Amino acid sequence: MSGNEVIAEVKNLRTYFHVPEGVVRAVDGVDLVIKPGRTLGVVGESGCGKSVTALSLMRLVPSPGRIEGGEIIYYQSVRETSASSLSDIIDITRLKPNSREIRAIRGNHISMVFQEPMAAMLPVRTVGSQIMEAITLHQNVSHQEARERAIEMLARVNLPNPDRIVDNYPFQLSGGMRQRAVIAMALSCNPHLLIADEPTTALDVTTEAQILDLMRKLQADYNMAIMFITHNLGVIAEMADEVAVMYLGKVVEQTDIRSIFINPLHPYTQALLRSIPQLDDVMTRSGERRQLHTIKGMVPDPYTVLKGCPFHPRCPHFMSEVCDQVVPEVIEAEPDHIVRCHLYAPSPEEAQTRKEAML
């Protein structure tokens, strides 16, 4: 993948939380590639590190969390900006937290929509004033211009009567309207990359459909890259061009949207897909009910450090002596289809040798 078509690249990112109870390896060697105008979907069970990955990109990891290693390369030249003091290629992990550079990137280049729309807005200030603040922070415009811009943004996200809503307080809006206002705020500075962390999980399906539709339209208009985090595979299918499946702080599989559903390689992805109720099944079955497939066992707690593949205690294809000993490497099992699983190692012997080399 050449630099030209990539806007951001996460390489071997590790973000740990050092809490009195132990070390939580929330993100433990994540690689991601984000391309302009495309949507990267990130799925995985609760606690697998989706949000922490996103927060690392924004350098907003709350303490006691820390980026322990890896790189987050942001390619500024992909969409040239006029008067920018930033160099072309920036490693976000190297910027000082709260430095001028990271603040310039946040909002102006990368912005984020959070799961809980209430949390992103201050309850005591009007929607408009909060959007205007986001605008004036990054752009040199007058108060009047900023207000016009805010109203325009609210209109862009299909809020009715934007000139009235601009003076409303967040609690005066419904959940769906609030989430749209938050998106308006996130888009107010034309970010190149929008990180959406479960933006619709708290919403009803019909509202969710509206928001997803809106995000797709806005993406087409702005040629934005989107990193879309969710645990709903249905939403991923709707939104994403590429998918990264996470399990316990690692990306276990990454490929384009069709391959993930039609030809999932990682046993975790396969199990996940089989465990969701399928409407097609229900509609075509007659009489007899079907049991869902389940993944045996449970997600281990975050302090456990598992040897070998993190999925091995629950994996139906578990190979003893290999899976429980050697951490699987990233393997390009098929063109542009990456998987972290010993099943796809060139040969079992090789896995065995690797293990011996390690011991």
Ligand X SMILES: Nc1ncnc2c1ncn2[C@@H]1O[C@H](COP(=O)(O)OP(=O)(O)OP(=O)(O)O)[C@@H](O)[C@H]1O
Q: Footprint of ligand X on this chain (CB under 6 A)?
A: 17, 19, 24, 26, 44, 46-52, 62, 65, 231, 302
What token pair was written down for 37? 């105008």
Q: Which listed range, 50-58, 94-102, 282-290, 348-356, lies at the site for other proteins (CB under 8 A)?
A: 282-290
User: Smaller CB distance to other proteins: residue 275 or 353?
Assistant: 275
| Nearest CB to other proteins, comparing residues 258 and 317 | 258
Q: Are the beta carbons of 250 and 30 closer than 8 angstroms?
A: yes
Q: Which stretch binds other proteins (CB under 8 A): 29-37, 108-116, 149-157, 273-281?
A: 273-281
Query: Which stretch, 62-70, 78-86, 114-122, 201-209, contacts other proteins (CB under 8 A)?
Result: 201-209
226 binds other proteins (CB under 8 A): no
Q: Is 161 in the site for other proteins (CB under 8 A)?
A: no
Task: Name the pairing type of β-strands 89-91 and 65-75.
Answer: antiparallel
Would you give the binding string for other proteins spanning residues 19-58, x where CB under 8 A is met? Answer: xxxxx---------------------xx------------
CA-based nearest residue to 132, from 148, 108, 110, 111: 148
CB environment 91-116: b (16+ within 10 A), e (fewer): ebbebeeeeebbebbbbbbbbbbbbe
Instruction: Indicate which single residue of 31, 197, 208, 242 sits in contact with other proteins (rule: CB under 8 A).
Output: 208
Q: What is the full DSSP assignment across 294-337?
A: --SS-PPPTT---SS-TTGGG-TT--TTTTTTSPPPPEEEETTE
Residues 232-251 that bind other proteins (CB under 8 A): 232-238
Q: Say whether residue 51 binds Mg ion (CB under 5 A).
A: yes
CB of 182 to other proteins, least distance (A): 16
| Span from 50-58, 65-73, 163-171, 185-193 in contact with Mg ion (CB under 5 A) | 50-58
Q: Position of tokens 């040239």? A: 80
Integer Cα distance of 200 and 116 in angstroms: 9
**Pair 146, 135: CB distance under 8 Å:** yes
335 forms part of the interface with other proteins (CB under 8 A): no
Q: Are 319 and 348 spatial neighbours (Cβ–Cβ below 8 Å)?
A: yes
Give the other-Cβ count within 10 Å of 21's Cβ: 10
Task: Decide if residue 271 touches other proteins (CB under 8 A).
Answer: yes
Write the single-letter amino acid at 286. Answer: S
Give least dist CB 198 to Mg ion, A: 6
Contacts to other proteins by CB under 8 A: 19-23, 45-46, 160, 174-177, 204-210, 212-213, 231-238, 257-258, 260-262, 271-273, 275-284, 289-295, 298-304
